[in-house]
Amino acid sequence: MKAKELIKQLQELNPEEEIITAYWRHEMFDDIPAEHWAEFSCHAEMVMDWSRTHEDMCWMWGDYKKTYLNDEEVAA
What is the rounded radius of gyration, in angstroms, for the C-alpha atoms of the chain? 17
- In this prediction, residue 53 has a pLDDT band, given cuts at 50, 70 and 90, of very high
Reported pTM: 0.65
- Mapping DSSP to helix (H, G, I), strand (E, B) and coil, where does residue 9 land? helix
Percent helix, strand, coil in the chain (nearest 5)? 60, 0, 40
Has residue 76 got a pLDDT over 60? no
Rounded to 5°, the CA angle 22-26-32 comes to: 125
Has residue 8 got a pLDDT over 90? yes
Domain locations along the chain: 3-68
- In this prediction, residue 6 has a pLDDT band, given cuts at 50, 70 and 90, of very high
Report pLDDT digits (tens) over 21-40.
Answer: 999 999 999 999 999 999 99
What DSSP string describes 32-63?
S-HHHHHHHHHHHHHHS-THHHHHHHHHHHHH
